[in-house]
Amino acid sequence: MLQAELFLKAGAVLAEGSVYDKGSDSLYWVDIDGRALHRTDLVTAHDQQWGTPSRIGMMRLMENGGICVALEDGLYQKTETGYTPLAMLPNRPGRRSNDGNCDANGRLWLGTMDLSGGNGGSLFRIDQGKVTEMVTDISCSNGLCFSHDNRCLYYIDTPSEKLWRFDFDLTSGTVENRTALIDYSAEEGDFDGMTIDSQGQLWIAHWEGWKVSAWDPQTGKKQEEIRVPAPKVTCCTFAGKDFSTLYITTAHTEGIEGSGHLYACRDTGCRGQEFARYRP
């Protein structure tokens, strides 16, 4: 088992959604309940933040050089003075946006969660501002990523205790044939955020599990674990100029000194790659 080391004493409430920007060699991440977007320089560890008017579920870089963020009710572009709407989700009380990711054609796939704990959440596709509901009956939409051949969508609805696989068509932007790839009911904690390395291996954060685990999606077998000094591990992403360091976000837990901070694991032996960007 590998060990994560402290990178930034962030003091976040609910750190999530990390994205690497190679141009500035910095890591963007969000504090959902702290209502803030952060950018941390990976060389100096200097952290800059911007407040948001509501809880922020995730962020992505845009093809036009901008930054988009998912606030509770939809997708917005960050500006110098605030946030400009790009696409609004259907008005459904008791729901908010959570995690998301872009496919290779620049469409953003954004999930929502049912704040009552029911199955009223959904997975939406946002294609140049047009919102389409793609998957329904979701409880808490979390990590999602696409296979390198663009034929599979891997997806976590946390309370289901399964990592799901969909057949994905890049041209049409559609998903079908939902099947359970990994049953994690016997694992420590619940699956939360997720990323994929250059070899197609899935790296998954464990909420209330004190760790990140790596899985082979071809076999459904666990390959590696990284111990993290905080129980609520939320998200991970490969970053740095050579994409060789896995950066890990955590949420605050009362009485746990190491919680709410950012961690790094530099000896996974794996590399990541740049995320696709949103095409407005």
Q: Does the predicted model carry a pTM greater than 0.85?
A: yes
Distance of CA 208 to the CA centre of its chain: 17
Give me the chain's average pLDDT, please: 98
Q: Which pLDDT value is given to residue 134?
A: 99
Q: Can you give 125-185 as a three-state secondary structure string?
A: EEECCEEEEEEEEECEEEEEEECCCCCEEEEEEHHHCEEEEEEEECCCCEEEEEEEEEECC
Q: Which pLDDT value is given to residue 129?
A: 96
- Judge whether 192 counts as a catalytic residue: yes
Beta-strand pair 221-227/2-3: parallel
Binding-site residue set for a divalent metal cation: 16, 142, 192
Confidence of residue 33 (pLDDT cuts 50, 70, 90): very high
3-state secondary structure of 159: helix
CA distance 13 to 18: 15
Instruction: Provide the residue type at 252 as one letter.
Output: H
Q: What percent of the chain has pLDDT over 70?
A: 100
Mean pLDDT along residues 149-157: 99
Distance of CA 59 to the CA centre of its chain: 9
Mean pLDDT along residues 247-273: 98
pLDDT digits (tens, 9 = 90+) for 13-32: 999 999 999 999 999 999 99
Q: Which pLDDT value is given to residue 274?
A: 93
Beta-strand pair 108-114/95-102: antiparallel
Q: Which structural domains are found in the chain, ordered by start? A: 2-265 (2.120.10.30)
Catalytic annotation, pick one of 99, 190, 192, 197: 192
CA distance 31 to 56: 7
Closest CA to 101 of 280, 279, 277: 277
Confidence of residue 57 (pLDDT cuts 50, 70, 90): very high
pLDDT digits (tens, 9 = 90+) for 180-228: 999 999 999 999 999 999 999 999 999 999 999 999 999 999 999 999 9
> What is the DSSP secondary structure assignment for residue 74, as one 8-state letter?
E
| Burial state string for 217-253 with b = 16 or more CB within 10 A and e = fewer than 16 | beeeeeebbbebbbbbbbbbbbbbeebbbbbbbbbbe
Q: What percent of the chain has pLDDT over 90?
A: 100
Binding-site residue set: 16, 96, 98, 142, 192
Question: Which residues contact residue 185 at a Cβ distance below 8 angstroms, ignoring those fewer than 6 apart?
Answer: 161
pLDDT digits (tens, 9 = 90+) for 62-111: 999 999 999 999 999 999 999 999 999 999 999 999 999 999 999 999 99
Confidence of residue 113 (pLDDT cuts 50, 70, 90): very high
> What is the DSSP secondary structure assignment for residue 275, as one 8-state letter?
P
